[in-house]
A = this chain, B = another copy of it.
Amino acid sequence: MQGRARILLATRVRMLRARYGWSQERLAEVSGLHRNYIGHIERAELNIGLDNLERLACAFDVSVAEMLLDGGMEQGDRR
C-alpha cells in the first residue's frame, strides 16, 4: 500500500485543477509552489510535505483531508 497516497494526491490535484480550468502554471501562481513541483506531484514522483499539501488545499479552497480523498468521491457523498 506504500505509495498509494501519492497516487491519490496526484489524481486529486489533476481533478481539482480541471474543475477550476487551471493550467499547472496557474496552480503554481495561486499556490505559491513552483510549476515543476506541481508536475512532480501530478506524476506521484514527490513525497510532498504537509505544509505544501496545505498550500495546495488553500489554492483549491478545500480541506487538507479532501486533497487525499479516494477517486471522484466528495466528502458530501460519504455516509
Q: Which of B5, B9, B78 contacts A75 (CB 8 A)?
A: B78
CB A14 to nearest CB in B, in angstroms, measures 16
Given the known inter-chain contacts A5-B64, A64-B68, A76-B78, please indicate yes or no for A49 contacting B49, CB distance below 8 A.
yes
Copies of the protein in its oligomer: 2
Q: Which residues of B contact A8 (CB under 8 A)?
A: 64
Complexed CA–CA distance, A70 and B64 (Å): 9
**Chain A residues bordering chain B, tally (CB within 8 A):** 30
Complexed CA–CA distance, A66 and B70 (Å): 11
Q: Please provide the 6 A-B residue pairs with the shortest distance between their CB atoms, ordered closest to farther.
A: A5-B54, A65-B68, A47-B49, A5-B64, A64-B68, A65-B65
